[in-house]
Every structure is written in C-alpha cells, then in structure tokens.
C-alpha cells in the first residue's frame, strides 16, 4: 500500500535514539529500521531525535536548517537548533541545544541520571512539536517511543483541541521498556508548561509524582509495545511496573507488534565486521569467526572443539547477568568458553574482570560498548545466552538466530515469541520457564548436550538461520494499525 502523496508526512517518529546516529540499545535499532522500511513501502516518513554532541563531527554531519526553532513557554526566549539529513529515504531532523544534548552520554553518568532529564526531554518534545508546525505540514501520525518522547502525545492531545493545524494528527505511544518511565517530582510538572488539566490520576500523576510515560499512555490515541507476549504481560502486576492498572483501562487500544531484525545490517552473508562471511550453504566462515574470536581474547585453542557461549547486553538486572555469574563455575566445569560483552552495573563489571583472571583461557569479559564486536561475538560463538528477567522484545536473540548461534533464553516477552524451544521438530533454541539459576543451568546443559551431537545441532542451526524476522512483516503491523486508526487509507 502506498499512502496518497501530498506534502503531509504520513508518519513522524519521535525518539531519543536512532541507529546509526545514536544508540544505547534496541530502541536505536528499531528506529533505524522501522521508518526506513515504511519509507521503502512508499510512505513519507520523518524521524525527530536529539542532536547529541558527537554527531556534529561524525561522518553523517547533519546540516543546520534552522537556528531559531522557537520552543516557547516556559522558556520564552529559548530556541532549538534543527539539523537535517536523509537516511535511507527518511527525513531525519535533529533537535539541538548544546546545554542539553552535548554531553558525554545520553541519559546519565556512572553516578546516575542527569539531574535535568525532565527538562531536557520536555524541551525535546516541545521543540519537536514546534518544528512540526514550522515545517507547515501536519503529520497524519506521530509515533512517540518510550518516556523520552512521551510528552509529544500530551502536547498533541492538547493542541488538537486548540490549534486546527494538528486537528487530525493521530498519536501512537510505543513502549519499548516499561521499567523506564521518566518519573520526576510533582514540582517539575508545574514547571514544565504542560496544561494543568493533565495533572490527574488519569493523566501524568503517579503516586504524587510526574510520570512521563504514563502521560503518554493516557494521552495517545493508541499504544503499542514490541511483542504480543509483552503486550499481555504488562497488564499484570509482575510485569506492569505499577502501570498495569492504567494499561488495563486502555487494553482496547493496546497492541503488541513484534520488532524485526534489520538484515541489511545483521546478516552473516555480507557483514563487513566479520573476519569471514558465511551462509547456510557455506558454514566454514563461522568456524573461522570462532577461531579469530578465541585468539583475539586469549581463549584456549581447545575451545575450537567445545561450545563457546556468548552474552551481549546491558549489565543490568533485566538481562539476568547475575544469573549468568551464579552459574559460571558450573559452566566452567562443562569445559565450555564464555564471552561477555557489556557495560552497566559497576560491581558487575568489576566482578567479571576478576572472574576473567580466575578462569583464564575460558572466560573473556569485554567491558564497553562496541558495535563491531557485538557482530563478531554473534558470529564467533556457538550458543547465545539471554537469561532475561523480562524482555519486551529483544533483538540480540533474533540476530543470534540469523548468525547460527541458537539462543538459550528465559521464556518471557519477545523471547517467547521468537524462539521455538527444543525439543521439537521446529526448535531454533532453548528456553527455560523462570529466571532462576538452576533452570538456566539445566537449559544450558541441554544445549551443550545437543551441540555434542553434530547432526542434531546442525539442524537447529540451519532452522535458526532461515527464520524470517525481517522488518517487512513487522512494518506491516504498524501500517495496519495506522489504517485501523483511520490515519492512513
């Protein structure tokens, strides 16, 4: 389907991260792929995202298109800069103001969140709305993502009633992770310039605090999250992070649309980060990737004949890194190798480095954030570990499938929706019911046993690599939603 072409954008995505311009996790990957897939379908698509400092110097160097985007109350004289670049058929607008966005990281320092995150992202949202208006064409749909852009839904909810320009712009609030809500003190609500009508339990108020994600959830026309299973889970106290009540009230306007995997970037047949590419027909390249990985991280040559287990992710409770640390001694007894790439909790980082000394030649821990290495670990390992406590969707397991590295994962959220568990004729990986160390260990043991049976393993690998989680299918889910909302024909 192609929407009718006039000057109105069909969809404008608002996001605090977009690959390849900025990234701390899966949100960036999604916003690097979904808009471009929709654009390839003939839609007119734009993305608005902050102009973080380092982008000015990097290879994309977006060009300045406005230095006086007026943001208005509560900062009358304050303006935003707007930069522009085109990326894979999508218009990308970067909202700049150095005092807010030219920092060493996006949201926090190692000591905690930036003290002015509320002001920074309120500014960002206001600037997005102002720029939409200054561009002169109201979008059919504005799709916000996570708490950092949630206030856009609130402003549009209000403006639709007061400014004919936005009268028929629909809003979607996409939740990528309910645990991050943008929760601040009540005082900051009153300083934000949001209309007072939004200060209520059916608006921004959450146990006396100002909750930006809740504001988006209560103000948007429609709410999405990133997998069908997570869409069900967040209606329960276990996964709802306190918002299960308000989400249940809006259950009729909530949809789980599974994320996709960007095979232009994550494909072992053409991945330029790999020492050697490979495909289901020619798997020798994968062995070469493994050898190189072992050598590069001083892992024992003996591991060429034993499975190597990989973990890539934020070193946080969500990802169950503590479960991995719990079972590490037993894993070492299985004579397997383990490669961990991540950053996050400082104690966990330190513990991993200590353990690397204890298990020399068998454990490699790389603390940091390296896009290239993430690709090489996916390719060089045999088994991918994902013992998440909850997982809205998860992209790394989808990448692992395509790289022939069957995952061992908790059966939660998007992991449940993307991995067909062993034993079955369709198995693509291994899952365990609850995030508990003994269940995790049992599942890894099972995977290692199957790995030892080369034929059985080859079948699982082949099936994993031929799964199709391309964005085309996921984008269809968003198109259907926009049509159901009456925003697109």
Question: What residues make contact with ligand ADP under the rule CB under 6 A?
Answer: 25-27, 29, 312-314, 341-343, 369-371, 374, 393-396
From the CB of residue 272, how many other CB atoms can be counted at a distance below 10 Å? 7
Two tokens at 415? 């992991």
Looking at 22-30, 36-44, 75-83, 195-203, which segment touches ligand GLC (CB under 6 A)? 22-30
Q: Does 231 bind ligand GLC (CB under 6 A)?
A: no
Q: Are the C-beta atoms of residues 35 and 47 closer than 8 Å to each other?
A: yes
- Does residue 405 touch ligand GLC according to CB under 6 A? no
| CA end-to-end span of the chain | 9
Closest approach, Cβ 68 to ligand ADP, in A, equals 35
CA distance 213 to 153: 10
The answer to whether residues 197 and 219 touch, using CB atoms and an 8 Å cutoff, is no
Least Å distance, CB 41 to ligand ADP, is 23
Window 256-285: residues binding ligand GLC (CB under 6 A): 259
d(CA 267, CA 50): 29
What string of DSSP letters covers 429-489? BEEESSS-HHHHHHHHHHHHHHHHSHHHHHHHHHHHHT---BHHHHHHHHHHHHHHTTS--
Q: Which of 27, 45, 172, 213 binds ligand GLC (CB under 6 A)?
A: 27
For ligand GLC, give the closer residue by CB, 374 or 393: 393
Q: What are the start-end ranges of the H helices in 163-253?
A: 186-192, 212-219, 228-233, 237-240, 244-249
Number of residues that bind ligand GLC (CB under 6 A): 14
Residue list 371-400, contact with ligand GLC (CB under 6 A) = 391-395
- The binder of 154, among ligand GLC, ligand ADP, none, by C-beta within 5 to 8 A per type, is none
Partner that binds at residue 153, options ligand GLC, ligand ADP, none, CB closer than 5 to 8 Å by kind: none
Q: Which is nearer to ligand GLC, 392 or 477 (CB)?
A: 392
- Provide, rounded to whole angstroms, the least separation between the CB of residue 340 and ligand ADP: 9
Of residues 169 through 208, those in contact with ligand GLC by CB under 6 A are 176-177
Q: Which residue is nearest to ligand GLC (CB)?
A: 26
Using the rule CB under 6 A, which residue among 9, 26, 182, 216 binds ligand GLC?
26
Q: Quote helix, strand, coil % in the chain, to nearest 5.
A: 45, 20, 35
Task: Name which of 3 and 226 has its Cβ closer to ligand GLC.
Answer: 226
CA distance 83 to 93: 6
- In the three-class reduction of DSSP (H, G, I as helix; E, B as strand; rest coil), residue 252 is classed as helix
Least distance from C-beta 105 to ligand GLC, angstroms? Answer: 16
Residues that bind ligand GLC (CB under 6 A): 25-27, 30, 176-177, 226, 259, 391-395, 414
């Amino acid at each position: 389907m192609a929407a009718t072409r006039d000057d109105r954008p069909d969809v404008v995505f608002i996001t605090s991260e977009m690959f390849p311009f900025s990234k701390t996790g899966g949100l960036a990957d999604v916003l690097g792929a979904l808009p471009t897939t929709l654009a390839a379908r003939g839609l007119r698509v734009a993305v608005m995202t902050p102009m973080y400092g380092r982008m000015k110097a990097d290879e994309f160097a977006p060009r300045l298109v406005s230095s006086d985007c007026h943001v208005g109350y509560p900062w009358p004289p304050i303006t935003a800069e707007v930069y522009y670049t085109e990326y894979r058929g999508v218009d990308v607008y970067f909202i700049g103001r150095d005092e807010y966005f030219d920092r060493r990281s996006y949201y926090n320092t190692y000591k905690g969140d930036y003290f002015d995150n509320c002001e920074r992202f309120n500014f960002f949202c206001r600037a997005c709305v102002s720029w939409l208006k200054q561009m002169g064409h109201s979008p059919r749909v504005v799709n916000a993502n996570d708490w950092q852009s949630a206030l856009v839904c609130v402003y549009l909810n209000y403006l639709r009633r007061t400014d004919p320009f936005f009268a028929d712009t629909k809003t979607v609030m996409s939740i990528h992770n309910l645990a991050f809500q943008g929760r601040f003190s009540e005082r900051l609500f009153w300083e934000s310039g949001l209309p007072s009508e939004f200060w209520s339990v059916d608006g921004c108020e959450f146990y006396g605090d100002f909750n930006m994600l809740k504001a988006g959830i209560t103000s948007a026309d429609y709410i999405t999250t990133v997998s069908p299973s997570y869409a069900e889970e967040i209606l329960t106290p276990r996964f709802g992070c306190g918002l299960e009540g308000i989400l249940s009230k809006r259950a009729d306007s909530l949809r789980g649309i599974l994320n996709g995997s960007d095979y232009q970037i994550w494909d072992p047949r053409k991945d330029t980060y790999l020492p050697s590419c490979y495909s289901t027909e020619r798997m020798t390249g994968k062995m070469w990737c493994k050898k190189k990985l072992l050598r590069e991280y001083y892992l024992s040559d003996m591991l060429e004949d034993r499975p190597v287990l990989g973990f890539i992710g934020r070193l946080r409770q969500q990802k169950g890194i503590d479960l991995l640390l719990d079972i590490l001694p037993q894993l070492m007894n299985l004579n397997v190798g383990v490669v961990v790439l991540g950053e996050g909790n400082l104690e966990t980082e330190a513990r991993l480095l200590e353990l690397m000394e204890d298990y020399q030649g068998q454990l490699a821990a790389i603390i940091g954030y390296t896009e290239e290495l993430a690709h090489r670990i996916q390719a060089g390992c045999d088994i991918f570990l994902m013992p998440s406590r909850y997982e809205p969707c998860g992209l790394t397991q989808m990448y692992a499938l395509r790289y022939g590295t069957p995952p061992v994962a908790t059966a939660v959220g998007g992991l449940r929706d993307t991995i067909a568990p062993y034993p079955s004729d369709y198995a693509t990986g291994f899952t365990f019911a609850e995030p508990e160390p003994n269940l995790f260990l049992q599942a890894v043991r099972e995977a290692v046993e199957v790995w030892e049976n080369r034929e059985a393993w080859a079948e699982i690998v082949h099936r994993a690599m031929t799964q199709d989680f391309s964005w085309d299918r996921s984008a269809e889910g968003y198109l259907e939603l926009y049509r159901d909302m009456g925003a697109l024909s």
